[in-house]
Structure 1
């Protein structure tokens, strides 16, 4: 004998993607529904990396010409840039690893 399980009140198709009525989904959730989550995360990571490196390059040029007042700003930007590169390389490595694992699966 089976007993049907009713749905949780307040959560349903009318609630939207966010899970609660009246709350708009975040861009990441909306992209996940559209199937573009990974590509949008990857593209935004590259954009952030490029912006961080441009900021670091600008501060490095100011430091070389003597226009930079606080060297701390350059050092912070340099460390942010380094961490961003490590993050993007880590994402790339995991994506390649996942692709290789999928290719090894028997069909």
Structure 2
């Protein structure tokens, strides 16, 4: 057991470090991330409209914007599912 906490004497509590001051809350981080996803969706939609109107010079840029928006949305959905899963797991914990 001495290899678990090197430098700590038996019965001596390890010093507890305070967490670094957070720059923003988790909710603010999620809100910002969702705003970026929404902006990418709007950008992809605008690129598709420009393409349909014949104003988009590069089809590859339109496809790239669409794929970026799709991947961002899929990531946001995956994060949402993990948050819900974690919440449900916490709710199942006995008190």
Give the whole-Å Cα distance in 2 for the aligned partners of 1:30 and 1:80: 27
Greater helix proportion: 1
- Measured in 1, the distance between the counterparts of 2:38 and 2:73 equals 9
Residue correspondences, number = 81
Moved over 4 A (4+): none
CA RMSD, 1 decimal: 2.2
Q: Select 1:45's aligned residue among 29, 33, 44.
A: 33
Corresponding residue number in structure 2 for 1:62: 50
1:76 aligns to 2:76 (yes or no): no
Higher relative contact order (CA 8 A, sep 6+): 2
TM-score by length of 2: 0.76
